[in-house]
């Protein structure tokens, strides 16, 4: 199925390769950066990765400051502090290193170096007036794809909400993918962030807005994740698997960037916010149940997903072939040790109504391949609580 009209744009330059961090000084010079704020999360600081970035900048005599006070699901207040740090330093370029939280925060900080007011003025879609200061995004998890998307997702703890900032002025200028920097990522984080990337690829691939360019990127991402996530979790120092997961994550980001996602991500915001479940994990918990529900909305694509996972579908009916995709994802979850349920994080039947209320407000609901009623959402949440599909 090809849709009759679509728009595709992605301006982010990609640099890939083990050891490609050494290219950072040339990238900074190329973007006209004279003073850099390095934005990272406490995890990458502890792993010594911020130090590796600053050593590279120091050796090239590029002035820099460091900001790492970022909580996961970056709080708006963390972004406020980062903006103050960037302005205090007189930074004209931001280097973000880490998982999605660090990259989302780095992009939001860069927006406020060129736009007036407060980051809260830019919550929503297409609100940013001027291009942000240049950002070099260095992802260390194969997860969010933030390095190639228009999105920053922040936690507004004052109002207990997750908020999106989405704008073509919220792109990084360069994504630097260096698998060496993922070497020390713990297995559980590799597993959860890998499931986030897989969810991006599958949800964009089957949704109603998918176009051929997103489709191509999503298919390749699914194949790379099916072939490499187990190995990246089992052998963290397997550089080929690490590299392929970084590539898959960026490809999945390119796929979903402007066409959005589906019901898993519609659930992920309220569930993540109310029960403090890491984003990749909540996606991993909900993905099989949502796939099972969605099958009738796009049987051919789910059958193709099964094939990309290496399932044997010869001789099967289309319906049975499509169902093999759910089986394949469940097996992958088992192999990477992702066994948690929503109940493990305190989700109960009594909280379903409020979760469903918020899920229904997501823009991801309307492009999901199958229209869902409240009763349907309730059944999927029950699967997420019980760990069944
Ligand atoms: Fe996600």
2 inside domain:
no
d(CA 382, CA 217): 32
CATH number at residue 199: 1.20.1090.10
How many angstroms from the chain centroid is the CA of residue 75? 17
218 inside domain:
yes
Buried (b) or exposed (e) across 109-133, using 16+ Cβ within 10 A? bbbbbebeeebeebbeeeebeebbb
Q: Is 89 found in the same domain as 29?
A: yes
Q: Is 140 found in the same domain as 28?
A: yes
Q: How far is the CA of 350 from the centre of ligand 1 (A)?
A: 26
Map tokens 């900001």 to a residue: 67
d(CA 133, CA 110): 5
Q: Which residues contact 152 (CB under 8 A, 6 or more apart)?
A: 104, 105, 107, 108, 146, 164, 165, 166, 170
1 inside domain:
no
Map tokens 């009916």 to a residue: 317
d(CA 27, CA 172): 12
Q: How far is the CA of 196 from the centre of ligand 1 (A)?
A: 5
Q: How far is the CA of 58 from the centre of ligand 1 (A)?
A: 34
Q: Is 170 found in the same domain as 247?
A: no
Tens-digit pLDDT profile for residues 41-64? 999 999 999 999 999 999 999 999
Residue ending a domain, among 134, 160, 182, is 182
Q: How far is the CA of 295 from the centre of ligand 1 (A)?
A: 20
Q: Is 259 found in the same domain as 173?
A: no
Q: Output the DSSP codes for 234-298.
A: H-TT-HHHHHHHHHHHHHHHHHHTTT---HHHHHHHHHHHHH---HHHHHHHHHHHHHHHHGGG-
CATH number at residue 110: 3.40.50.1970
Q: Is 269 found in the same domain as 348?
A: yes
d(CA 43, CA 97): 10
Q: How far is the CA of 273 from the centre of ligand 1 (A)?
A: 13
Q: How far is the CA of 312 from the centre of ligand 1 (A)?
A: 29
The answer on pLDDT for 2 being more than 70 is no
Higher pLDDT pick, 299 / 160: 299
What CA–CA distances, in Å, run from 53 to 138, 312, 347, 352? 10, 45, 40, 44
Q: How far is the CA of 215 from the centre of ligand 1 (A)?
A: 17
Tens-digit pLDDT profile for residues 233-291? 999 999 999 999 999 999 999 999 999 999 999 999 999 989 999 999 999 999 999 99
Q: Is 133 found in the same domain as 57?
A: yes
Q: Is 279 found in the same domain as 206?
A: yes
Q: Is 163 found in the same domain as 31?
A: yes
6 inside domain:
no
Residue ending a domain, among 148, 182, 216, is 182
Output DSSP code: residue 137. E
Confidence (pLDDT) at 1: 57
Q: How far is the CA of 63 from the centre of ligand 1 (A)?
A: 34
Confidence (pLDDT) at 129: 96
Q: How far is the CA of 359 from the centre of ligand 1 (A)?
A: 15
Confidence (pLDDT) at 163: 87
Tens-digit pLDDT profile for residues 122-133? 999 999 999 999
108 inside domain:
yes
Kindly report the pTM of this predicted structure.
0.96
Q: Is 238 found in the same domain as 163?
A: no
Dihedral sign, Cα of residue 294, residue 296, residue 298, residue 300 = positive
Reduce the DSSP state of residue 5 to 3 states and report it: coil
The whole domain housing 59 covers: 13-182
Q: How far is the CA of 148 from the centre of ligand 1 (A)?
A: 13
What CA–CA distances, in Å, run from 66 to 20, 55, 274, 319? 21, 12, 31, 53
Output DSSP code: residue 92. S
Q: How far is the CA of 46 from the centre of ligand 1 (A)?
A: 24
Number of structural domains found in the chain: 2
292 inside domain:
yes
Give the model's confidence band at 157: pLDDT under 50 very low, under 70 low, under 90 confident, else very high.
Answer: confident
How many angstroms from the chain centroid is the CA of residue 309? 21
285 inside domain:
yes
By the 8 A CB rule, do 262 and 206 touch? yes
The token pair that represents 99 in the structure block: 């998982």
Map tokens 């609901």 to a residue: 365
Q: How far is the CA of 32 from the centre of ligand 1 (A)?
A: 32
Q: How far is the CA of 55 from the centre of ligand 1 (A)?
A: 31
Q: Is 265 found in the same domain as 124?
A: no
Q: Is 303 found in the same domain as 288?
A: yes
The token pair that represents 304 in the structure block: 């193709």
22 inside domain:
yes
Q: How far is the CA of 315 from the centre of ligand 1 (A)?
A: 34
Higher pLDDT pick, 250 / 161: 250
The average pLDDT across 14-41 equals 97
Reduce the DSSP state of residue 154 to 3 states and report it: strand
Q: Is 157 found in the same domain as 62?
A: yes
Q: How far is the CA of 262 from the centre of ligand 1 (A)?
A: 10
Reduce the DSSP state of residue 372 to 3 states and report it: coil
Dihedrals phi, psi of 304, to nearest 5 degrees: -65, -40
Give the model's confidence band at 322: pLDDT under 50 very low, under 70 low, under 90 confident, else very high.
Answer: very high
Tens-digit pLDDT profile for residues 188-234? 999 999 999 999 999 999 999 999 999 999 999 999 999 999 999 99
Confidence (pLDDT) at 87: 97
Residue ending a domain, among 182, 202, 235, is 182
């Amino acid at each position: 199925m090809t849709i009759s009209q679509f728009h595709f744009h992605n301006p982010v330059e990609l640099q890939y390769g083990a050891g490609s961090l050494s290219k950072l000084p040339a990238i900074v010079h190329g973007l006209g950066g004279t003073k850099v704020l390095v934005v990272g999360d406490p995890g990458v600081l502890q792993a010594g990765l911020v130090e590796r970035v600053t050593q590279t900048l120091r050796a090239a005599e590029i002035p820099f400051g460091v900001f790492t006070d970022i909580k996961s699901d970056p709080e708006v207040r963390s972004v406020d502090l980062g903006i103050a740090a960037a302005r205090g330093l007189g930074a004209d370029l931001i280097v973000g290193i880490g998982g999605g939280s660090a990259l989302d925060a780095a992009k939001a900080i860069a927006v406020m170096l060129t736009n007036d007011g407060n980051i809260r003025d830019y919550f929503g879609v297409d609100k940013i007036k001027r291009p942000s200061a240049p950002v070099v995004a260095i992802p260390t998890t194969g997860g969010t794809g933030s390095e190639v998307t228009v999105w920053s997702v922040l936690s507004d703890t004052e109002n207990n909400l997750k908020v999106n900032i989405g704008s073509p002025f919220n792109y990084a200028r360069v994504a630097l993918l260096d698998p060496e920097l993922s070497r020390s990522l713990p297995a559980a984080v590799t597993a959860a962030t890998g499931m986030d990337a897989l969810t991006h690829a599958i949800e964009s691939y089957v949704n109603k807005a998918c176009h051929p360019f997103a489709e191509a990127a999503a298919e390749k991402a699914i194949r790379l994740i099916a072939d490499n996530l187990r190995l990246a979790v089992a052998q963290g120092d397997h550089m080929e698997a690490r590299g392929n997961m970084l590539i898959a994550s960026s490809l999945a980001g390119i796929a979903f960037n402007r066409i959005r996602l589906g019901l898993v991500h519609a659930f992920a915001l309220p569930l993540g916010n109310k029960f403090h479940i890491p984003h990749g994990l909540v996606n991993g918990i909900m993905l099989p149940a949502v796939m099972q529900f969605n099958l009738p909305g796009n049987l051919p694509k789910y059958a193709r997903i099964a094939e990309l996972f290496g399932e044997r579908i010869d001789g099967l009916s289309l319906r049975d072939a499509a169902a093999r995709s759910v089986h394949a994802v469940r097996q992958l979850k088992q192999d990477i040790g992702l066994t948690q349920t929503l109940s493990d994080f305190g989700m109960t039947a009594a909280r379903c109504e409020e979760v469903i209320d918020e899920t229904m407000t997501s823009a991801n609901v309307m492009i999901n391949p199958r229209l869902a009623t409240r009763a349907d959402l309730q059944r999927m949440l029950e699967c997420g609580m019980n760990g069944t599909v």
